[in-house]
Structure 1
C-alpha cells in the first residue's frame, strides 16, 4: 500500500481542536499586494494604528467578521471612497453621480446634497469595489451636444496599483498580462471588442 492509499487523518470532534468559538470576535483580512506587503509588519503595526496595543494578537487587514464557513467571495471586496471630477455642469445631478460611481463598484453612498452649497471640484462616493477589478482612473462620457468629456476618478487611501492593467493586487513588474503574452493578447482583443461596442458611457434619458 502506498502513502496515497492511506486513510485521511480525522481530528476528534472537540472544541480543543477548533478555533470557531474562540474566534467569534476576531477580524479577518487579506493583503491586497502580498508581493510588496509584509504580513508580519502589518500584524505588528495594526494594533498601534487601531489603538489596541496589548489587547489583541494577530491583526487582520479588513473589518470582516470571523466566519467558520466563508463564502467563495469572502474578502474579495472592500468599501472605498472615490472622488469623481469633471462632471458636466448640465449633468450635475445625484443620478448622474450615481451612474458614474456605479462604473467603479456597487454604490453605497453619494456625499452630495443638492440643497447645500458645493465648494469642492469633485464629488465623493462610497462604493463596494471588487479587489480583482481594474481601478479605472478615467471614463469617457457622451454629452448631449454629441461630444464627450473625460470623467476622472481618484481612489482615497489607495496609493499603489499596476500601471498596466490597473489592478491593486500587484505592481507592473509582476503583471500577469505582461508576463503571459497569450493573456495579454486576449485582454487586448477583449478591450478592442468592448471599445467597439461601447465607445463611451451614455446617460440614459428618463421621463420626468
Structure 2
C-alpha cells in the first residue's frame, strides 16, 4: 500500500508541463496608463501598521479621500491610485508620510521597477552646531554627504534668513542606521560637534533604525527552543516586578527560612495581652523563671489560668464552710447531693 501511494505521488502532474497561456496585448494595454497615476507605498513596520488602515488613513491625511483609491498588493506593498497627476505631485512634494507614528516609504509606479524599488526614504535633516565662520554651502554639503545621498540643500547665502540650523534633504536606505552626532575638525584646527535632527521622526528602535522596534528586533539572538524563550520572557517579567515598587506584593519576596531571634524585654508581660497569674512564692523567683514563663505558649497559659480559677473557687468554698461551722457551733449538715 505504501509503495502504491509513493508511486502516485511521484507521478503527480502539478501543471508545470502544461502549455503556456498566452494573453494578448489588448487585455492589459490600459493597465499601464491607469497605474501611471499611482504611488506604491511600503509601511516600514507592518506589525504595527495595518494595511487596511493605511489605505484609509493616508488619503484622509492628504485631504483627498474622494480622489484616491487604495488597495493592498501583497504583504509588503499597497497601491494608491490618483485621479489626476496634480494630486499625485502635490502628495509627493509633501513626503515623507507617517502612519501610527512610523514611516511609510513611497515611490511612483514604474512599468519596469528596479531592484531597489521602494527601498529608500527621503528625510529632511536639520544640521545644528556649525560655527558661524564656516556656514557656507560647500561646508554643509561636505557634512551632509556623510549621511547619504543629497537630494537638495535648503540654504542660500543671499536669501536664507536664519542659520541656526541648515536643512538638507537626504536619501536613506530603509535599513540604514541613523546618525545623530558628528564631530568635525576644520583645517584651522577648530573642532565642532554637529547634531542632526530628523524632521517628522516620531519613533525609532534602540539600534537607530526605523524598520523595526525593540519588541520585534531582528538582530536579537534567537533561542534554540521556544520553551527557553518563554522562560526568559517570564524571568524578565518577574525581574520587572521586583524593580517596580508599584507592582510589588507580599508574595514577591522570599519567605525567610528561620524567624528572626526574639529579644526579651521587661515589658513583654504587659504588651503580650495575656494576664499573668502569680503562684505562691513566684514573686521571689529569679528573672530567669519570669522569662521562661513569658515564653510559654498560649495553650499552656490558658490551662494554668483554668487551674488557678478552680483552686480559688475551692478555697472560697472551704472558707465559707469554716465560717458556717463557727457560727453554728461546729455542727454542720451534710451537703446536698447533686
Normalising to structure 2: TM-score of the pair?
Answer: 0.47
1:179 corresponds to:
221
Partner secondary structure for residue 139 of structure 1: strand
Contact 1:77 1:128 in 2 (8 A): yes
- When the two chains are superposed, the root-mean-square deviation of aligned CA atoms in Å is 2.7
1:162/1:11 CA distance change after superposition, 3 Å:
farther
2:174 corresponds to:
131
Residue in structure 2 matching 1:56, options 65, 68, 71: 68
1:40 corresponds to:
52
2:22 corresponds to:
12
Partner secondary structure for residue 179 of structure 1: coil
Alpha-carbon distance in structure 2 between the residues aligned to 1:11 and 1:20: 21
Partner secondary structure for residue 57 of structure 1: strand
Contact 1:11 1:17 in 2 (8 A): no
Residue in structure 1 matching 2:124, options 71, 77, 81: 81
Alpha-carbon distance in structure 1 between the residues aligned to 2:120 and 2:69: 24
2:276 corresponds to:
none
Deviation of 1:70 after TM superposition, in Å, equals 0.7
Residue in structure 2 matching 1:167, options 175, 187, 209: 209
Alpha-carbon distance in structure 1 between the residues aligned to 2:134 and 2:185: 11
Bigger relative contact order, structure 1 or 2 (CA pairs below 8 A, ≥6 apart) = 1
* Structure 2: gaps of 5 or more residues: 1-10, 71-78, 81-103, 224-338
1:155 corresponds to:
198
**Matched positions, count:** 180
2:90 corresponds to:
none
Q: Which moved more, 1:50-59 or 1:72-81?
A: 50-59
Normalising to structure 1: TM-score of the pair?
Answer: 0.73
Contact 2:106 2:118 in 1 (8 A): no
Contact 2:43 2:105 in 1 (8 A): no
1:87/1:3 CA distance change after superposition, 3 Å:
farther
Please identify the structure whose Cα radius of gyration is greater.
2
1:55/1:116 CA distance change after superposition, 3 Å:
closer
Deviation of 1:9 after TM superposition, in Å, equals 7.5
Deviation of 1:46 after TM superposition, in Å, equals 1.4
Contact 2:44 2:105 in 1 (8 A): no
Alpha-carbon distance in structure 2 between the residues aligned to 1:50 and 1:11: 41
Deviating above 6 A after TM superposition, structure 1's stretches of 4 or more consecutive aligned residues are: none
